[in-house]
Amino acid sequence: MTFASNLSSQGLKKLAQELQEYAQNTLVNKLRLFRERLAQKGINVAVSSNNGHLSQYVVFSMETSDNESVIIAKETQLLEADWLGHEGVMISPLLMTEFGSGNYAVFWESVDMGSVHQLDDGTPIGRGSFPNQKYAFDYQWFYRDKEGNKHVSRGIYPTRPMHNAVIEIIMQVEATAREVFGNG
């Protein structure tokens, strides 16, 4: 890019203003690119981590504005569960893929040591990572797929796509900054 100006005080002021705007716009563009690249790296890891039999119900995307880039994990639908004969209970495939359930649930600190954790409203939570789930080890449950077929489960293994995306973003900050802003 070239800038031209006459050597009058007005011309130099105008040149200084143009250079400042150019530098600012360049920095703003690089910051946007930096955010988008980090978010895309996170999405790539989330997509590759999203495996298992509930992965078809979770999709990932990115929304970008002037000030932020956000990774979005979205369920394509809730699944109908049959928990000990209580039909019509809806479960979240996104929560299941992120935290698991039953024997495979991501452990809550000290839950296995006998302490009871609670949500802000006082609802107890257990190893199944869902409120009021008290039978994570003892019983099976069923869920219906998109076609309405029942599947039995004793728990869902967590693949943690969003957790893995965040870890990847943290690990890639420096390399992505060097990529976008240069090595200096």
* Distance from C-alpha of 43 to C-alpha of 23, rounded to nearest angstrom: 30
Whether residues 89 and 152 share a domain: the answer is yes
In a domain, 2, yes or no: no
- Please give the average per-residue pLDDT across 6-10, as a whole number: 77
- Please give the average per-residue pLDDT across 160-183, as a whole number: 90
Domain carrying residue 130: 77-161
pLDDT in tens, 94-134: 888 888 776 666 654 444 445 455 556 765 554 444 445 55
Centroid of chain to Cα 120: 23
Query: Amino acid letter at 160?
Result: R
- Please give the average per-residue pLDDT across 85-98, as a whole number: 78
In a domain, 31, yes or no: yes
Q: Provide DSSP, 118-131.
A: E-TTS-EE-TTSSB
User: Which letter does DSSP use for residue 79 in this model?
Assistant: E
| Secondary structure in 3-state letters for 143-163 | EECCCCCEEEECEECCCCHHH
pLDDT in tens, 26-46: 777 888 899 999 999 999 999
Average pLDDT across the chain, whole number: 76
Tokens encoding 115: 């302490």
In a domain, 101, yes or no: yes
- Please give the average per-residue pLDDT across 37-64, as a whole number: 89
Identify whether the C-beta of residue 97 lies closer than 8 Å to the C-beta of residue 161. yes
Whether residues 50 and 69 share a domain: the answer is yes
